[in-house]
Structure 1
Amino acid sequence: MSGAPAGDHAWIARFLEAQAAELGAATNTLLAYGRDLKDFSAWLSPGAGGFAGVTQERIESYLLHCDAQGLATSTRARRLSAIRQLYRFAFDEGWRSDNPAIRISGPGRSRQLPGTLDMDEVDRLLAAARASGRDDMARVRNTCLLELLYATGMRVSELVALPVSAARGDPRLLLVRGKGGKERMVPLSPPAREALATWLRLRDTAASGRRAEAGADGSPFLFPSRGKSGHLTRNRFYLLIKELAVAAGVAPSRVTPHRLRHAFATHLLENGADLRSIQMLLGHADLATTEIYTHVLEARLRDLVLTHHPLARDAQ
């Protein structure tokens, strides 16, 4: 081994530094890698040489241990992925002359279809946003949030952290910074553009008043907040969308920010959009991730036939 760090924690630190610097890995991804690798390190027997002395059999035994703990398939697959990434990096860096994880097959994730909302439910949520809020400014902000989310399919983390500069000048397209700092352009529908323009007018008026009182610069975010992040948080938006679901008469358990993202993709596919375009709009790195929406559409069409076809009804 050449220049291998001393101790598992040093391995993890160097690996995470490289992931952040070379690949631009997102903070949440780095945190997940760190947690999974620390768990693996804690499981290894003291005195066994740590990461540097691990064999394929030891990794397989660890995965059996995770299974015996009752961990979900997705969790076990994620932990194996972290271990694979670590040893690929260690091999490339010359810390090990082999990669003990390269031949280990994963537990195989179950491919669950994403939940979605139909057009009527989305319309009711948008109507609730226009009518819900403690004052006119809150109602306009809520409307803008929902219109942008459904019109673009953004992740909620992308939505709440949008810079106000991206929304200036009545844009037809928004520049969105996604996972790993990757940027993409998403088009805005006419209702979304109208909601955005209305919110900007109210936001700027309120910001001008605050600056006049405090002599402070305005927030760089489209949806500012007084909290530590400076913008509306994911948790607050999650609670907001649940409140809107109640007001809309839609079961709150069916409504999440991510489900609106699924609705965006599913409704595009239903209306003839191609998978490659949907992949670009959603910011998926792999087309296989986007292909799951074809299964959603197939399931809905199958249910439609079973519910409405006369021969299907006769057989029931």
Structure 2
Amino acid sequence: MTSALHPAALKAEVHMSLTMSKQGVYHWRKTIDGHPFFKSTKTDDLKLAQQMAALWEADAIREVFVVGNKPMGLHAVIKAFLDERKGKPGWQSAKGHLGHFLSLPNEKFSDVHEHAVLEVIEKRREAGVAHNTLSVMSSYWLALVRFAESKKWSTCPKIERIKPEKTRLRYLTKEEEAGVFAAIDPNAKYPGKCLRTDRARQTNCDLVTMLLDTGARYREMAQMKWSQVSFAQSTVLIYRPKGGTDTTIVMTDRMKATLTRRKLEASDEWVFPTKRKHNNAYKWMKAACARAGIDVNLGKVTLHTRRHTNATRLLQGGLNIVEVQVQLGHASLQSTMVYLHVTPMAAAEKAAGILNKPAA
């Protein structure tokens, strides 16, 4: 069979075997020209398993010697993709999104089915992940497929990219902010009040304070270490893995008070030790907004809304767009431009003020 496909196949070292797994089904393993192959027959019928193995062997030999593609495991492709981008902007984002696909079996990349990929994405949707975040996730998968193609590796079919939705930029008014803090106040009276919940509420209050006053993304704050905090200089260093542009923030008064108290209670290197292993789950925030009576028809309020609020207030307070870009750690000014429409009158009023001045 192999000689009919390609002369080189005659020299290939081919190992094929069927082994019974603990689950009582046959698994097929083989090595062709140094490339390992593995599949489960999902059957305990030896004759049927042998027939399946023969077909898989023929396909594998054709792939290696005729098509010329190099078979690679899914996890190996993801690792190679990330290794090539390590140290570049967006690496942390790629690692986070593609990391969810590591839950798939480490089979040959070309054997990964489209429905399995979409299942991983759908689970993220069911977990409450925003639609536009899923759009980014699908884009990274497509980038992974293109990467494998560029390396002449066997690839799986491309999925259809999830198109992002235009969303209304949501930020908190001062009244809404006060309402949220009142809704998570650990000193307030609330049903089921206990020491454990009081501590959780205090941590949430501290987290919201830091997000509002730094404009940091949730993950940037959740992963913050005390080594990034300088009480002597009243500064906080924000590591920006998404854009690669780290930012030094000068503490506000309430930031300094919050961090000073947390430092006295700290038992390890993390500023928010109970948050660092968790994704941006905002169920408690959603409940707080409901208790505060915040109108969700104006747009969903999440922890990321604090970043939008920070940017909006800085622009309304007089910082120019480039200064806000630096504060937020945006690699591109285009990313910051989305906030300009929230202060449409600012530039117009400045222009009128200048033109109203008498000529020199």
TM-score (norm 2): 0.53
Change (3 A) 1:83 1:35: farther
Instruction: Tell me the amino acid that sits aligned with residue 160 of structure 1.
Output: A
Matches within 5 A, 1:80-95: 82-84=141-143, 86-87=145-146, 90-91=149-150, 95=152
**Partner in structure 1 of residue 91 of structure 2:** 25
Gap change, CA 1:235 and 1:18, over 3 Å in 2: closer
Question: In structure 2, how many angstroms separate the alpha carbons of the residues matched to 1:232 and 1:294?
Answer: 34
| Residue pair 1:148, 1:188 contacting (<8 A) in 2 also | no
User: 1:156 maps to which residue?
Assistant: 218
Where does 1:37-186 land on structure 2 (aligned, <5 Å)? Answer: 42-43=113-114, 79=138, 82-84=141-143, 86-87=145-146, 90-91=149-150, 95=152, 109-130=164-185, 131-132=187-188, 134-135=194-195, 140-167=202-229, 169=231, 171-180=233-242, 182=244, 183-186=246-249
- The question of whether the paired residues in 1 share the 8 Å contact of 2:280 and 2:303 is answered with no
Q: Does 1:244 align with 2:312?
A: no
Q: Which structure 2 segments of 5+ residues have no match?
A: 1-63, 116-130, 346-360
| In 2, Cα distance between equivalents of 1:171 and 1:249 | 39
Q: Which residue of 2 aligns with 1:222?
A: 271
Hey, what's the Cα distance between the residues in 1 that align with 2:201 and 2:79?
Answer: 47
Q: 1:246, CA displacement in angstroms?
A: 4.2
Q: CA deviation at 1:152?
A: 0.6
- Look up the match of 1:290: 336
AA aligned to 2:256 is R
Query: Matches of 2:208 and 2:241 in 1, distance apart?
Result: 21
Amino acid at match of 1:149: L
Q: Which has the larger radius of gyration?
A: 2
- Which protein, 1 or 2, shows the higher relative CO under an 8 Å CA cutoff with sep ≥ 6? 1
Write the distance in 2 (CA, Å) between the matches of 1:187 and 1:39.
50
Distance 2:200 2:113 in 1: 48
Which of these residues, 180, 189, 195, is aligned with residue 258 of structure 2?
A: 195
Partner Cα distance (1:171, 1:245) in 2: 35
Q: CA deviation at 1:29?
A: 3.1
* Contact kept in structure 2, 1:140 and 1:195, CA below 8 Å: no
The share of aligned pairs that are identical, in percent, is 20
Conserved 8 A contact 2:226-2:269: yes
Name which of 323, 326, 330 aligns with 1:280. 326
Q: Conserved in 1, the CA contact under 8 Å of 2:135 and 2:162? A: yes
* Amino acid aligned to 1:117: L
The AA in structure 2 aligned to 1:25 is W
Structure 1 residue runs without a partner (length 5+): 45-71, 205-217, 302-316
Decide whether aligned partners of structure 1 residues 260 and 88 sit closer, same or farther in structure 2, where only a CA change above 3 A counts. Answer: same
Match of 2:30 in 1: none
Match for 2:337: what amino acid? E
How far apart, in 1, do the equivalents of 2:136 and 2:208 lie?
34
Go from structure 1 to structure 2 and tell me whether the alpha carbon gap of 1:175 and 1:285 turns closer, same or farther (over 3 Å shift).
same
1:176·1:184 contact (CA, 8 Å) conserved in 2? yes
Across the two proteins, how many residue pairs are aligned to each other? 245
**2:15 aligned residue:** none
Which residue number in structure 1 is paired with residue 23 of structure 2?
none
**2:91 partner amino acid:** A
Which has more helix, going by share of residues?
1
CA–CA distance in 1 between the matches of 2:306 and 2:134? 25
The aligned counterpart of 1:233 is 278
Q: Secondary structure of the equivalent of 1:185?
A: strand
Deviation, structure 1 residue 221: 1.0
What's the secondary structure of 2:249's corresponding residue?
strand
Q: Quick one: which amino acid aligns to residue 174 of structure 2?
A: M
Residues 75-111 of structure 1, C-alpha deviations (whole Å, 9 max, x = no match): 67764564356536754x5x39xxxx9xxxx897553
Of stretches 75-84 and 168-177 in structure 1, the one that deviates more from structure 2 is 75-84
Distance 1:266 1:278, change over 3 A: same
User: What is the TM-score with the length of structure 1 in the denominator?
Assistant: 0.59
Q: 1:261 to 1:10 in 2, by over 3 A?
A: closer
How far, CA to CA, are the matches of 1:189 and 1:14 in structure 2? 41
